[in-house]
Chain A
Amino acid sequence: MQTFFIGFFGLAAIVFAVAVFRTSSMMRSALALLFSQTALGALFLALQAEFLGVLQIMMMATEMSIMAIFMVMFMMDPGGLGGMDMSHQKRLSMIAGLGAVMLVSAIAAYTRWQELASLSQAAAADEQIRHLGRELLGRSMLVFETAGITILTAMIATTAVAVKVPAENASHES
């Protein structure tokens, strides 16, 4: 049953990911990416990573909604009614993409993963959250705190980049 759900949600994620680059409407691209990421969240649930699955769905739903708003802001034709082509070097990109898929799949297929395995049973959802909490506030605390500081730095940097410079300051800067 688990194999079926992993296959089903994995396939759904791939199909929607392909749809992202096959439509000339950027609005549809954003929605396809949202569905692809949601399918990934469901795949995480099928892999018994309940917390990560729910987090993925919640984060990506918000992120893709913001992306859709930016699409409408930046595009002359967000609905894609003009059928505008926004791509270049398609052949090279296709070869690189297919080559990467084949190479990574071959590595996945020919590596003896079982030799690296230590345990095959995942704990129940509530146990997992308790263990993850202990990990976050224990051994991985420095990593967790670093992520927090990185978010703060990125917030300041993005605000500095995005805020419009008033005209009188702009003349001094240039």
Chain B
Amino acid sequence: MNPDLLLALITGAALFGIGLYGVLSQTNLVMLMMGIELILAGALVNLVAFWRFLHADSYAGQMFVLIVMTVMALEMAVGFAVALARFRARGSVEMEEAQELKG
């Protein structure tokens, strides 16, 4: 077992766990987005580590990383648009106050 690979994967696991904690525990929409960013960052670390230590000759691994980075940027843009619309309509982005979204 390559210790560098294990180190990188544990870093990814820790970022995923911290992000999950953030998504479940925060009440503010912008803070929720920060949690999602951390979860995606955990995925990024894993993808780069897999490319480097398992298939350094295949650049499809780096392609995956570029796609995840695109997803991160889009998540941020769409999230901020929703936050802006919500702030205009209700004057707050607190998710505790968004009870009307419950099905």
Q: Which residues of A contact B (CB under 8 A)?
A: 2-3, 6-7, 10-11, 13-14, 17-18, 20-21, 26, 29-30, 33, 36-37, 40, 43-44, 47-49, 51-52, 55-56, 59, 63, 66-67, 70-71, 73-75, 86-90, 92-94, 96-98, 100-101, 104-105, 108-109, 112-114, 116-123, 128, 131-132, 134-136, 139-140, 143-144, 147, 150-151, 154-155, 157-159, 161-162, 164
Q: Is the CB of A155 within 8 A of B28?
A: no
Which residue of the partner chain B has the closest CB to A155?
B77
**Chain A interface mostly:** helix
* Nearest CB of A to B74, in Å: 5
A141 to B81, CA, bound (A): 29
* Nearest CB of B to A147, in Å: 5
Cβ–Cβ < 8 Å partners of A73 in chain B: 87
A112 to B5, CA, bound (A): 11
A44 to B49, CA, bound (A): 8
Q: Which of A87, A118, A150 has the most CB of B within 10 A?
A: A87
> Could you tell me which residues of chain B, from 8 to 41, have a CB within 8 Å of some CB in chain A?
8-22, 24-28, 30-31, 33-35, 37-38, 41
Cβ–Cβ < 8 Å partners of B72 in chain A: 59, 63
Q: Is the CB of A118 within 8 A of B55?
A: yes
**Chain B interface mostly:** helix
Closest 4 pairs between A and B when the two form their complex, measured CB to CB: A97-B21, A101-B17, A10-B11, A93-B25
Q: Is the CB of A101 within 8 A of B8?
A: no
| Contact pick for B6, options A93, A109, A162, CB 8 Å | A109
* Nearest CB of A to B27, in Å: 5
Q: Is the CB of B81 within 8 A of A158?
A: yes
Q: Can you list 5 A-B contacts (CB < 8 A)?
A: A37-B41, A40-B15, A87-B25, A120-B53, A162-B81
Q: Is the CB of A86 within 8 A of B93?
A: no
